[in-house]
Structure 1
């Protein structure tokens, strides 16, 4: 990154950057981004041996699913629509399924410590988004 900053600074001192240089810099940034995203999703499905499931009763299941996914998509790989979502964390995954009355959370992690961290992260955020409700979250392992 330091080399990239230095190269850009040098080119800026020399005057406007030509289109070929812009293309080269863009390509380098895209490659770095892909590498970073890959390293952030170092959890492979085969490594995840523990699961925990919680059925959260709420008429706002789809709303909370979308809020959680939108919140985490700024830093984590996320896929979602109104009824289903998946968030990939370095310590595991969170799958979300919503229907009219229930938000089902399915967590997968490699070990107990990471499972507890994953539960903590998901619950803290869900409780924050659902502050108007007192939602019970009980995990089945």
Structure 2
């Protein structure tokens, strides 16, 4: 499995995450609350955590097609559901560092 992550700056992290989860609920197994989310697709899975000023995304998928599909699906839908906000999603390989290491 390939693992990859993104830190997406946004003051509306919880709102954006909730919108994604509600949409994906008909496409996969989705569990979420105000801060955390887990989305399990047939082609990979994604964990999210909404913080005050950013959305943390941590994903796993089989290399190649499944990984490309998961990256595309998350970015495409996040940008569509964020409204006027122009979100930047820059994927990085590997797991998301523990929360205390992701803080500036």
Q: Normalising by structure 2, what TM-score?
A: 0.86
**Residue equivalent to 2:21:** 69
Which whole-Å CA distance do the structure 2 matches of 1:50 and 1:112 have between them?
A: 9
Q: Does 1:122 align with 2:74?
A: yes
For structure 2, the 5+ residue unaligned runs are: 94-104
Partner of 1:55 in structure 2?
A: 7
Partners of 2:28 and 2:42 in 1: CA distance: 9
What is the CA–CA distance in structure 2 between the aligned matches of 1:140 and 1:55, rounded to whole Å?
Answer: 9
3-state SS of paired residue (1:107): strand
What TM-score, normalized by structure 1, do the two folds share? 0.64
Superposed CA deviations along residues 83-133 of structure 1, whole A, max 9, x for unmatched, are: 000111111001111100010111100112211100101111000011311
Paired with 2:27 and 2:64, the residues of 1 have a C-alpha distance of 24
What count of residue pairs does the alignment treat as equivalent? 93
4+ residue runs of structure 1 moved beyond 4 angstroms?
none
- For the pair shown, which has the larger CA radius of gyration, 1 or 2? 1
Structure 1: gaps of 5 or more residues: 1-48
Q: Does 1:104 align with 2:56?
A: yes
RMSD between aligned alpha carbons?
A: 0.8
Instruction: Compare relative contact order (CA 8 Å, sep 6+) and give the higher one, 1 or 2.
Output: 2
